[in-house]
Chain A
Amino acid sequence: MCLAIPGKIKSIELQHNGLVRMAKVSFGGITKEASLEMLPDADVDDYVLVHVGVAISKVNEEEAKKTFEYLEEIGELGELEDVDDYLPKKDES
């Protein structure tokens, strides 16, 4: 039941005298309705994460790359990390 899946907004319709924004969201072929009440700035063509009939987050395409770049990045940062080891332990952030 905790499943949340990303899909693309195909169209948006106003319901309840404009109070409620409902979207048709396509999940690779299957289309379902999702409420956009928690994503006021979501628009047609945006990718959103939908959970039990409610869109809860926009998928950030820039950030989506990071998982693929992470390994390269840590490769490059290797030396910096070594420097870190000589500094006082324990990160404050």
Chain B
Amino acid sequence: MKYMNEYRDPELAKKYLEEIEKTVTQPWAIMEVCGGQTHSLVKNGIIDMLPEQVTMIHGPGCPVCVTPLNLIDKAIHLALNEGVILCSFGDMLRVPGSKINLLEAKAKGADIRILYSPLEAVKIAEANPDREVVFFAVGFETTAPANALSLIHAHRKGLTNYSILASHVLVPPAIKAVIDDDESNIDGFLAAGHVCTIMGNSEYHPLSATYNVPIVVTGFEPLDVLQGILMVIRQLEANKAKVENQYSRIVKEEGNTEAQKMIFEVFEIRNQLWRGIGEIPESGYAVKEKYAAFDANKKFSISIEEAPEHPDCISGQIMKGIKKPFECPQFGKKCKPSFPLGAPMVSSEGACAAYYHFSGLIEA
């Protein structure tokens, strides 16, 4: 197929930048919701090449970063004290719990396995019938169908030793929370293309109309992000506010209806705690009662005390776009990827880590 690598063409990127420069007549603040886009913006140096009037604000879009501290403590407890095989995506391993992280738990002898897909966890459960296998199911709407599917596979196979520790976060309620926050001041949004791949664009139309903000569903390659920014600015300059789809090669208006069916077979919407931000109404998924046997939260009735965040970490303000990573007094000092105080310094999609890695501060 044509057009696989062309989205990184530097010549075309330059044309987009020129067009942005020509179009913009006043200052605008644009939030990219998704950490994958933050990563692309910083890594490719787009941030520094945009005209001064365009300020990119980095949103809360990193599921790893917003997974509640308490849930990480729970995962560590399960792996360390309950003898379970805890399976997780690799990015979760270094995220600080209240005392240790999963990697340190692994060093202490816990059976923690890093997987590429939740479907592999089901295979591990099948191969270890005498052990409990728990998958740490974090993610946005993008990852929810795969996590739901793992549960359906386990159910089909009649497995009774598989469960998920679910921490799913949803993007539209987070956008709403960001707009409603008095401290934030955002003129337009780049919505996360892969979230919309699953859910479609329907939830964004009422948001855009109610708050009178342009929302452009955007991809992740440099040209995608640049085109998304240009589309938002064109709307702002023309005093328009609607939903547009930059990522139409992947995102259909209605999303992936099969995947949506899979999600709502297994999950239902609930209020969700976002690490660093607080509770956002109807912004997460819980496993339905029907599948309670596969819900690690119910299967292992563990209650772990809520622990406070590291007092020096201002990740909440970072994720709401109120402050930039380098405005954090600990950035690059007490807080580095090798010794993160907060989650955004861990994940490659976290704003603090993206700034650290790509602004000449690479650790020796």
Chain A interfacial positions (CB closer than 8 Å to B): 1-4, 6, 8, 16, 19-20, 32, 35, 37-40, 47, 49, 51-54, 56-57, 59-61, 63-68, 70-71, 74, 81, 84-85, 89-91, 93
A36 to B122 CA separation, bound complex (whole angstroms)? 17
Looking at the complex, which one of A1, A59, A71 makes contact with B89 (CB distance below 8 Å)? A1
**Chain A's nearest CB lies how many Å from the CB of B345?**
16
Total count of chain B residues near the partner, CB < 8 A: 63
**Chain B's nearest CB lies how many Å from the CB of A16?**
6
Q: Which residues of chain B have C-beta atoms less than 8 A from A66's C-beta?
A: 248-249
Residue B15, interface by CB 8 Å: yes
**Chain A's nearest CB lies how many Å from the CB of B39?**
9
Q: Which residues of chain A have C-beta atoms less than 8 A from B34's C-beta?
A: 2
Residue B328, interface by CB 8 Å: no
Residue of A nearest to B18 (CB): A71
Chain B interfacial positions (CB closer than 8 Å to A): 1-4, 6-7, 12, 15-16, 19, 34-36, 62-64, 89-92, 116-120, 138-140, 142-143, 145-146, 149, 153, 156-157, 194, 197-198, 212, 223-224, 227, 230, 234, 238-243, 246, 248-252, 256, 258-259, 262, 347, 349
Q: Which residues of chain A have C-beta atoms less than 8 A from B349's C-beta?
A: 1-2
Q: Which residues of chain B have C-beta atoms less than 8 A from A91's C-beta?
A: 240-242
Once the chains bind, are B138 and A1 in contact (CB under 8 Å)?
yes
Q: Which residues of chain B have C-beta atoms less than 8 A from A70's C-beta?
A: 227, 230
A-B contact pairs, 21 of them (CB 8 A): A1-B139, A2-B35, A3-B36, A8-B1, A38-B149, A38-B262, A52-B117, A52-B146, A53-B119, A57-B252, A60-B250, A67-B3, A67-B7, A71-B16, A81-B238, A84-B238, A90-B240, A90-B241, A91-B240, A93-B242, A93-B243
**Other than the known A6-B4, A37-B149, what 14 A-B pairs have Cβ atoms closer than 8 Å?**
A1-B64, A1-B349, A2-B36, A2-B62, A2-B140, A4-B194, A38-B259, A39-B256, A52-B118, A57-B197, A67-B7, A67-B246, A90-B241, A91-B240
Q: Which residues of chain B have C-beta atoms less than 8 A from A8's C-beta?
A: 1
A34 to B100 CA separation, bound complex (whole angstroms)? 34
Once the chains bind, are A54 and B149 in contact (CB under 8 Å)?
yes
Q: Which residues of chain A have C-beta atoms less than 8 A from B212's C-beta?
A: 90
Given contacts A1-B89, A16-B156, A39-B258, contact A56 B142 (CB under 8 A): yes
A93 to B1 CA separation, bound complex (whole angstroms)? 33
Q: Which residues of chain B have C-beta atoms less than 8 A from A67's C-beta?
A: 3, 7, 223-224, 227, 246, 249
A84 to B346 CA separation, bound complex (whole angstroms)? 46
Once the chains bind, are A51 and B194 in contact (CB under 8 Å)?
yes
A74 to B16 CA separation, bound complex (whole angstroms)? 11
A71 to B229 CA separation, bound complex (whole angstroms)? 13
Q: Which residues of chain A have C-beta atoms less than 8 A from B259's C-beta?
A: 38, 56
Residue of A nearest to B120 (CB): A53
A61 to B3 CA separation, bound complex (whole angstroms)? 8
Q: Which residues of chain A have C-beta atoms less than 8 A from B119's C-beta?
A: 35, 53-54
Q: Which residues of chain B have C-beta atoms less than 8 A from A37's C-beta?
A: 149, 258, 262
Once the chains bind, are B197 and A4 in contact (CB under 8 Å)?
yes
Q: Which residues of chain B have C-beta atoms less than 8 A from A57's C-beta?
A: 197, 250-252, 256
Once the chains bind, are B63 and A2 in contact (CB under 8 Å)?
yes
Once the chains bind, are B256 and A68 in contact (CB under 8 Å)?
no
Q: Which residues of chain B have C-beta atoms less than 8 A from A53's C-beta?
A: 116-120, 146
Q: Which residues of chain B have C-beta atoms less than 8 A from A4's C-beta?
A: 142, 194, 197
Residue of B nearest to A75 (CB): B19
